[in-house]
Amino acid sequence: MTQPSHDAVVQFVAANRFPFPGQTTWPADYVTLTNVPSQQRSVPAEDGAYYPDIVVVDANGRTREIGDVEETLDPAKAKFWKAASAAGDELPDYNTRIFFLYVPAGKEAEAQALLDKNAIPYAGVRGYVADADGRISILPFVTRGNPYDHQ
């Protein structure tokens, strides 16, 4: 297995998870934006603006869902993940928000511990990996949101 580039993972996740291929529950007015290779959409953060990797907005421009891809886990990023989480919709049935964190496979437990330690609500933590041909796979680790998302 190889380590895919950050931008390749962002593009893959945006195209294959927001929404899933064939997902019939995805609202028709949702648009998935990425902040790579250029910044398109920020969320408010304590030091100004933060540009999460994936931002889903509705037709009225409201931020609905957030996804962030990390290559390394840095506790200093927690304040940005908190801002990203706060920008996503609430999932009251699951007592969380629509924020997904994608990390290299094998780092999922460490990512979950950082989120929990910093009281950051999240819908899921996912691992990612690429095979020898560069095909990216997403590995669900934990889902606190809709069980549909645990795939």
Q: Which domains can be identified in the chain, with CATH numbers?
A: 6-22+29-149 (3.10.640)
* pLDDT recorded at residue 61: 95
Q: How many CB atoms lie within 10 A of CB 57?
A: 17
Instruction: Give the contacts of 38 (CB within 8 A, at least 6 positions apart).
Output: none
Instruction: Please indicate whether residue 37 or residue 93 has the higher confidence score (pLDDT).
Output: 37
- Beta strand 124-130 pairing with 136-143: antiparallel
* Residues β-bridged to residue 97: 90
Instruction: Identify which of 5, 114, 151 has the alpha carbon closest to the alpha carbon of residue 69.
Output: 5
Q: Is the pLDDT of residue 145 over 80?
A: no
pTM above 0.85, yes or no: yes
CA atoms within 13 A on the CB side of 150: 8
Average pLDDT for 36-56: 96
User: Rounded to whole angstroms, how far apart are CA atoms 147 and 117?
Assistant: 23
Give 1's pLDDT tier (boundaries 50, 70, 90). Answer: low
